[in-house]
Structure 1
C-alpha cells in the first residue's frame, strides 16, 4: 500500500475535519474508532487509539470473592516460599 504523507483538509464551522479515505484506509480506522490528539510544538498530531486499551478491559474479570490487600500479600509470600522449595 502506498504511504500517504500529507494532505490538506479544511476545518468546518463546527471545528471538525474529515480525515480523507486514503489516510483512514492506511491506518485501518473506521467510523466510531477513537483517535488520540496531541500538540507537538506548532503541529497537531492525530493518531489511532488501540482498540482495546487496558482501561477499556479493566474490571471485566471480577473476582468471585473479595480479598484484602493483606490477604493478597500473604498469598504472594506463600506462593514465593513454595516456589523456592521446588
Structure 2
C-alpha cells in the first residue's frame, strides 16, 4: 500500500497528486465516490458506463424504439450545439 498525500483547499476541494491521477486513469471532469467507514474514507473513481452496457437493465412495459431514441438524442444535441454557437457570437 502506497502513501500519497493531497491538500484540501479553503473551498473543500482536494488536490489529487498527478501520479495518483495517472495510476487511476483520472482526468478532468471524472467523478469520485467517497466511502466512509468508522473514521476512514476510501475514494474510488466512478466507473463510466456505456449505454450499450445499460441497455440490458432497462425494462419497460412498452416496446422501446431505439431509432426514435437516437433521433431525439440527435435533435437535442443539435439544439445544444446551435445554442452554444449563438452564445459565442
Shorter-chain TM band: 0.5 to 0.7
Deviating runs (4+, > 6 A) in structure 1? none
Greater relative CO, 1 or 2 (CA 8 Å, sep 6+): 1
Q: Number of residue pairs matched?
A: 58
Q: Secondary structure at the match of 2:14?
A: coil
Q: Scaled by the length of structure 2, what TM-score is found?
A: 0.54
TM-score, normalization: structure 1?
0.55
**Match for residue 8 of structure 1 among 5, 10, 17:** 5
**Larger Rg belongs to:** 1
Which structure's residues are more often helix, by fraction?
2
**What's the counterpart of residue 28 of structure 1?**
25
**Runs of 5+ consecutive residues of structure 2 not aligned to the other structure:** 66-89
Which structure features the higher share of strand residues?
A: 2
